[in-house]
Structure 1
Amino acid sequence: MIDLYTWPTPNGHKIHILLEECGLPYKVHAVNIGQGDQFKPKFLKISPNNKIPALVDSEGPDGQPISLFESGAIMLYLAAKTGRFLPDSDRAKYEVLQWLMFQMGGLGPMLGQAHHFRIYAPEKIDYAVNRYTNEAKRLYGVLDQQIKGKKWIAGGDYSIADMAIFPWLRSWQNQGIDWSDYPNLKAWFDRMGERPAIQKALLVLADARKPLTDDKARQALFGAGQYKKR
């Protein structure tokens, strides 16, 4: 059995989608990051970076339990475990991996910053808003060109690259995006949203997540407690 420690954020949804697409049974453990659950000792044992998602598989590669943190590592593990959504051939595999790295190293962090400074920052800093909004638009443009004439991001079959990128684009309005500027990417985004596994995955803990408007949630996510030595 897979125990998934998660919350309905883009990185959490990446794993929800992959698990649903693979059809693997899993048990959800809510880690309410707005209430500070990510700092509890039990969670830190499997996710020392105090970030969701994290996973414990009771049937690891050698038959023994394995715990993993970092959403990209979890995606690679599950793809290897099931033999799905990551090609076998070296050429096709690295096509997928480069776009997975694009999401992990660029798209996710930059869109997260755009979202933060546009929506959550306690003061409006024009330089930061403009910097990260423009970077969001640039990254959407990269994806729009990549998907042009293709059905899937990596150019071959549906893969973990598509699953990793999709959840990050769901907050396009908060990122300052106008879909009319990215018609190729919008067609892919709509196609992804029609997949039954994705629709089911997006319901995971959906009722539990609340707007981050109270002081406790803001402190847990953005306050000095983030930097406390543990």
Structure 2
Amino acid sequence: MSHGKQFTLYNHKSGPNGWKVANFLSELGLTYESIYLDFGALEQKTSPHVDLNPNGRIPTIIDHTNNDFVLWESNAILTYLAERYDTEHKFSASTEEDKYKQLQWLFFQSSGQGPYFGQAAWFIWYHAEKVPSAVERYQNEIKRVLKVLDGELAQREWLVGGKYSIADLSFINWTDFGATKLAPPGYDFAKEAPYAHAWLQKMLARPAIAKVNAEKVAVSK
């Protein structure tokens, strides 16, 4: 561990999933060294990264305090960090029922938010030809997912257990990116999903999250 930090985090300067993990490491007060992979050069799909993560995507972590344990998939990483380093359950569920609710939201985020928001980004910016019907489909999914969150948050302040947890944290980056960069022109997040909007603003204002956002801005210059 030449850099002396507790973790190595393979990330991308703008990819939401890697910053999700950075957010939780920051909340836990754990130190990490970020390696920002160049997607244009396909560094995520070549050695040494692909030797650690055969899926060739980010994030990937190495836990140097646990025999250089390697893990990939962002919400699996959040769960691992919570179970190993959040023993007082400050940011994670403590009861059996809440643990399953926590998994419910983590699964929804990874299967029902990330892929749809990611496809919106692909068809808006990267696809070789313009496909308006695809853009419309995925932008409609963005609005739908934000409405799902809004409906839940109209009933409670946080998603699980009456407190801020990894269930909430897992949504920060894609929700912010989706509502501000990917939603249809004229979409007003605060008006269309006021409870989800207020929830996101509370999370973005947390010192640990603001610290990571400042790091993201710095490396993106």
Given that residues 117 and 124 in structure 1 are in contact (C-alpha distance below 8 angstroms), is that contact kept between their aligned partners in structure 2?
yes
Q: CA deviation at 1:203?
A: 2.8
Q: Tell me which of 183, 188, 191 is aligned to 1:178.
A: 188
Q: Tell me which of 188, 203, 207 is aligned to 1:196.
A: 207
Q: Tell me which of 7, 15, 18 is aligned to 2:12.
A: 7
| In structure 2, C-alpha distance between the alignment counterparts of 1:130 and 1:121, rounded to whole Å | 14
SS in 2 for 1:49: coil
Q: CA deviation at 1:99?
A: 0.6
Q: CA deviation at 1:202?
A: 1.8
The residue that corresponds to 2:3 in the other structure is none
TM-score w.r.t. the length of structure 1 is 0.84
Q: Tell me which of 75, 88, 109 is aligned to 2:115.
A: 109
Q: Tell me which of 79, 83, 100 is aligned to 1:80.
A: 83
Spell out structure 1 runs of 4+ moving beyond 6 A.
Answer: none
The residue that corresponds to 1:215 in the other structure is none
Q: CA deviation at 1:31?
A: 1.5
The residue that corresponds to 1:41 in the other structure is 47
| In structure 2, C-alpha distance between the alignment counterparts of 1:161 and 1:50, rounded to whole Å | 25
Given that residues 18 and 74 in structure 2 are in contact (C-alpha distance below 8 angstroms), is that contact kept between their aligned partners in structure 1?
yes
Q: Deviations over 1:66-115 (max 9, x none)?
A: 11111111111100111242212111111111111100011000011112
Residue 78 of structure 1 aligns with an amino acid whose one-letter code is L
Q: Deviations over 1:107-160 (max 9, x none)?
A: 000011112212332322121011111111111110000111322122521111
Given that residues 14 and 164 in structure 1 are in contact (C-alpha distance below 8 angstroms), is that contact kept between their aligned partners in structure 2?
yes
Given that residues 30 and 205 in structure 1 are in contact (C-alpha distance below 8 angstroms), is that contact kept between their aligned partners in structure 2?
no
Which one has more relative contact order, counting CA pairs under 8 Å at least 6 apart? Answer: 1
Between the aligned residues of both structures, percent identity stands at 37
Gaps of 5+ in 2: 1-5
Q: Which has the higher helix share?
A: 2
Gaps of 5+ in 1: 211-230
Aligned residues: 207
| In structure 2, C-alpha distance between the alignment counterparts of 1:118 and 1:3, rounded to whole Å | 32
Aligned residues: CA RMSD: 1.6
